[in-house]
Structure 1
Amino acid sequence: MTPVTIGLISILIFFIFLLLRMPVSYTMLISGIIGISLLNSPTVALKVAATEIYTSFSTYTLSAIPMFVWMGFLALYGGIGAKLFHFAYRTVGHLPGGLAIAAQGAAGLFGAISGSNTATAATIGSLAVPEMRKHHYNNSLSTASVAAGGILGVLIPPSTLFIIYGIASEQSVGKLFLAGIIPGIILMILFMIMVYILAVRNPELAPAGEKSTWSERYQSLKGGLWEVSVIFALSMGGLFAGWFTPTEAGAIGAGGVLVLTLLTKKLSWEGLKSSLFDTLRTTAMIMLLIASAVVFGRLITMSRIPFEIGGWVESLVLPSFVIMALILLIYLILGFFMDALALILLSIPIFFPVVVNTLGYDPIWFGVIIVLVAAMGVITPPVGVNVYIIKGVVKDVSVEEIFRGIWPFLIMIMVLVALLMAFPEIATFLPNLLG
């Protein structure tokens, strides 16, 4: 068999294991070992796997992951999310759909210290959905809006997905963080616009709330917003200025959240223990995924599949944006069945050389695009992890009802993808400006 045939067989084995509901990390690891064994020998495959796993776990850059993950969980258990939602509600709660609009604003602000779609959805969902139900919001709209808002947690820096993409593609994590700021803000505004349109067209879906006084708005401003500003300025500001590495920025951010939540007496002993336990569990999952993906990536490279795809793409008489659209369609389809993190790790060895080397697209721009498209999988059936998180918050609303409300927000994500395709400067402006 040719190397390409062996590579394709290994990919087929991967999807078979996936359909059998084997954990993605084990699926990539076993498929990679099988493929390398067929290409060389079982001894070589096991040596490659052992070397890559050890190298992945001992990489200094990956130590940024537990730092940013812990920062997010400290913010979750330290009550910062509640303050942010209160501020957003006081600001826009009086508009049609105001509570759902406030939830998007709070999700965007919380994303600036979270880096996780699940933490953002869980935090804002537990606060916003009960409040929206109290004001007789439509169940489908209220739950879906918060599930979709969780995506802002991986687009607005810091973002775990950007860290993973940066490490896997050898791109600057700082530049990726910068590239995600403007698209993240635009997506937040698009979500707000969609909620407003739906509420204006049918006021029964999302009635307007009470209008707050300027004094109440000022008091809410002194809540979580200053904390987020301080933490973001310390960690992200130092990273963008070149003072810190990503790992140091994560450590400073986590330390800042810890100090602030302890000073304000919002973090209990139980909350601290829960944040450490959740960070350990999440970090272990991410690290195993990365190590397994590296082994699988070695197989893909050895099989020469990326080179064959690159040659095939070069032979196509199609504009590059059409080929790019087809690649994004593949991401969208795979996102229905795979978690965003696993999808990015799996696809980078295959598509990154094609998009960057063959089609000539900017690697930082591509990072924003695939993080955005892959993140759509967290709100689409059947995986839709954010939907299941919100289902856990509101147990009497069915999963099907939440998924029905997702489609308007998917449209807004596709609008942003189209904008990024037409105007790449949306993502590349800040990285180019700050160098």
Structure 2
Amino acid sequence: MDPILTTALVFLILIVFLGSGLWVFLSLALAAAVSLSLFMGYSLDRIGAIASRIIMRSASSWELAAVPMFIWMGELMFRTDISDRLFRGLAPLVRRVPGGLLHTNIAGSTMFAAVSGSSAATTATVGKITTTKLLQRGYSESLALGSLAGAGSLGLLIPPSIVLIIYGVLAEVSIAKLFIAGILPGLLIAMLYSIYIAGRCMINPALAPAGEHSAEDARPLEIIKNLSPVVSMVVLVLGAIYTGWATPSEAAGIGVFVAIVFAATTRQLSWTIFVGSLSGALKTSAMVCAILMCAAFLSSAIGYMRIPREISLFIEGLGMSPLALILCLALFYIVLGLFLDGISIIVMSLPITLPIIVQAGFDPLWYGIFLVIMIELGLMTPPVGFNLFVIQSISDRNIGKVALYSVPFFLLMCLALTFIVLFPEIVLWLPNALTASP
């Protein structure tokens, strides 16, 4: 069967299951099973064997190990006054900027992305801290949830990034350079988000009501005091990772330890808070991991049907110009991002697309950042936009409404991607400058 038609039919099957009201993870698993049965003729026994193998492998994968710890850290921050301190620390810095506390979504996600290396952990943690407070204060629901969907994806781009590590290993590109290369594009995207929020709120000030900021909180020492818990976690976690003293999962444990110590020293730690934070982390982690495991099953099913390879070979045979090739690959990855997780996209498509890219004259280092941004776009696109489901779980809003709120930030990320394609030095300048021979 034609790979384009097969892709469309798999997409339709998934839409049907999601539209029926089934849980997301169950819809993903059933779509994979039905597709293998219809298009590959596999028996139920064989499908069950594939599912059990893939799900068990995904459940025990090292890249998932850090997620529950980072989510627990977020729960501790949420249940103590660390979140209030974060708001009080950031509020004086953004109070004169149109949009006010909406910018804490962007700043908070950017800061936490430098801790977690995971989009799921970034979105879940920052969302737990900011969403309720923004909505309670009367800020625009569309901007509060949409900016979280966009900024939460920065966990894949701003180092340390698990996806960049996987790309570096597969493409044989320096992981240190990839980490450095992700900094400026990540800051560019965050800046575009903040400019958009400021512009919208200048046009319609009602989107961001004036907040209450005390003069005491605006004093420099108070700002430092309020931001110190989060900054300490960022410094300790990043320091542990970059010095090689700890893996990301171990560094996440350090972050949890710092949060517990802070809660204890400020006399906020109680048995109720400890158990409540652990219970909340367990529920969120179970949701995250269940979706990731079933997404891995769907990704493998699509791999069995050879859809990514066939589409990649089709693109290769078109003989396009470099810019046309990039545009075509962008569309290709947007389609894949509709129903595949980022790691699966890289593993399944990179062996085909990387030689094409290198032959067209693109730098593999640049392509790694391009690919991660394409994966980030997939996190904001239904029906399997993972950030959307995390935000739905946090905010209890309809998934369609959350997807609609994320559209402007999806387009802004596309704009940043356009800048990166037209001006590749945005990606290449910093790693080349820092690693150049004296």
Q: 1:430 to 1:371 in 2, by over 3 A?
A: farther
Alpha-carbon contact 1:155-1:372 (below 8 Å) kept: yes
Alpha-carbon contact 1:380-1:403 (below 8 Å) kept: no
Q: 1:205 to 1:26 in 2, by over 3 A?
A: closer
Q: 1:74 to 1:423 in 2, by over 3 A?
A: farther
Residue in 1 aligned with 2:151? 152
Q: 1:307 to 1:381 in 2, by over 3 A?
A: closer
Q: 1:145 to 1:419 in 2, by over 3 A?
A: same
Task: State the SS of the aligned residue for 2:267.
Answer: coil
Q: 1:183 to 1:121 in 2, by over 3 A?
A: farther
Whichever residue aligns with residue 422 of structure 1, its letter is L
Work out the CA distance in 2 between the residues paired with 1:191 and 1:315. 37
Residue in 2 aligned with 1:34? 37
Alpha-carbon contact 2:184-2:427 (below 8 Å) kept: yes
Residue in structure 1 matching 2:122, options 116, 123, 126: 116
Residue in 2 aligned with 1:143? 141
In structure 2, list runs of 5 or more residues that go unmatched: 359-363
Is 1:57 matched up with 2:69? no
Work out the CA distance in 2 between the residues paired with 1:37 and 1:94. 59
Work out the CA distance in 1 between the residues paired with 2:227 and 2:90. 10
Whichever residue aligns with residue 421 of structure 2, its letter is M
Shift of 1:205: 4.7
- CA displacement 1:302-339 (0-9 Å, x = unmatched): 4444433332222113224333333434555676x66x
Work out the CA distance in 1 between the residues paired with 2:429 and 2:163. 22
Work out the CA distance in 2 between the residues paired with 1:314 and 1:210. 57
Shift of 1:86: 1.3
Q: 1:297 to 1:50 in 2, by over 3 A?
A: same
Q: 1:402 to 1:312 in 2, by over 3 A?
A: closer
- Percent of residue pairs bearing the same amino acid type: 26
* Residues 211-250 of structure 1 mapped to structure 2, 5 A cutoff: 213=215, 216-250=218-252
Alpha-carbon contact 1:78-1:266 (below 8 Å) kept: yes
- CA displacement 1:4-30 (0-9 Å, x = unmatched): 669975873464144222434423552
Residue in 1 aligned with 2:361? none
Work out the CA distance in 2 between the residues paired with 1:79 and 1:349. 41
Alpha-carbon contact 1:145-1:409 (below 8 Å) kept: no
* Residues 70-81 of structure 1 mapped to structure 2, 5 A cutoff: 70-81=72-83
Shift of 1:125: 2.0
Residue in 2 aligned with 1:376? 380
Work out the CA distance in 1 between the residues paired with 2:109 and 2:326. 30
Residue in 2 aligned with 1:415? 415
Q: Which stretch of structure 1 is more off in the superposition, 305-314 or 421-430?
A: 421-430
Residue in 1 aligned with 2:320? 318
Residue in 2 aligned with 1:136? none
Residue in structure 2 matching 1:87, options 61, 86, 89: 89
Q: 1:269 to 1:302 in 2, by over 3 A?
A: same
- CA displacement 1:70-127 (0-9 Å, x = unmatched): 2233323233222112112112213433343355334433554563313323421222
Work out the CA distance in 1 between the residues paired with 2:187 and 2:72. 24
Q: 1:199 to 1:306 in 2, by over 3 A?
A: closer
Shift of 1:365: 1.3
Q: 1:12 to 1:109 in 2, by over 3 A?
A: same
Alpha-carbon contact 2:110-2:190 (below 8 Å) kept: yes
Shift of 1:236: 1.6
Task: State the SS of the aligned residue for 1:377.
Answer: coil
Residue in 1 aligned with 2:342? 344
Please list every run of at least 4 consecutive aligned residues from structure 1 whose deviation after the TM superposition is greater than 6 angstroms.
Answer: 4-8, 157-161, 172-176, 378-383, 398-405
In structure 1, list runs of 5 or more residues that go unmatched: 134-138
- CA displacement 1:367-410 (0-9 Å, x = unmatched): 43123212333899999447646854xx9xx9999877655444
Residue in 1 aligned with 2:132? 126
Residue in 2 aligned with 1:163? 162
Q: When the two structures are aligned, how many residues end up with a matched partner?
A: 415
Alpha-carbon contact 2:389-2:399 (below 8 Å) kept: no
Task: State the SS of the aligned residue for 2:41.
Answer: helix
Work out the CA distance in 1 between the residues paired with 2:104 and 2:299. 42
Work out the CA distance in 2 between the residues paired with 1:390 and 1:259. 26
Whichever residue aligns with residue 120 of structure 1, its letter is V
Q: 1:423 to 1:265 in 2, by over 3 A?
A: farther
Residue in structure 2 matching 1:197, options 181, 199, 221: 199
Whichever residue aligns with residue 262 of structure 1, its letter is A
RMSD: 4.4
Residue in 1 aligned with 2:16? 19
Alpha-carbon contact 1:88-1:103 (below 8 Å) kept: no
Work out the CA distance in 1 between the residues paired with 2:296 and 2:274. 33
Whichever residue aligns with residue 372 of structure 1, its letter is E
Residue in 2 aligned with 1:353? 351
Task: State the SS of the aligned residue for 2:145.
Answer: helix
Is 1:270 matched up with 2:298? no
Shift of 1:194: 1.9
Work out the CA distance in 2 between the residues paired with 1:159 and 1:70. 21
Task: State the SS of the aligned residue for 2:379.
Answer: helix
Shift of 1:354: 3.8
Shift of 1:278: 3.0
Work out the CA distance in 2 between the residues paired with 1:77 and 1:434. 42
Work out the CA distance in 2 between the residues paired with 1:158 and 1:254. 23
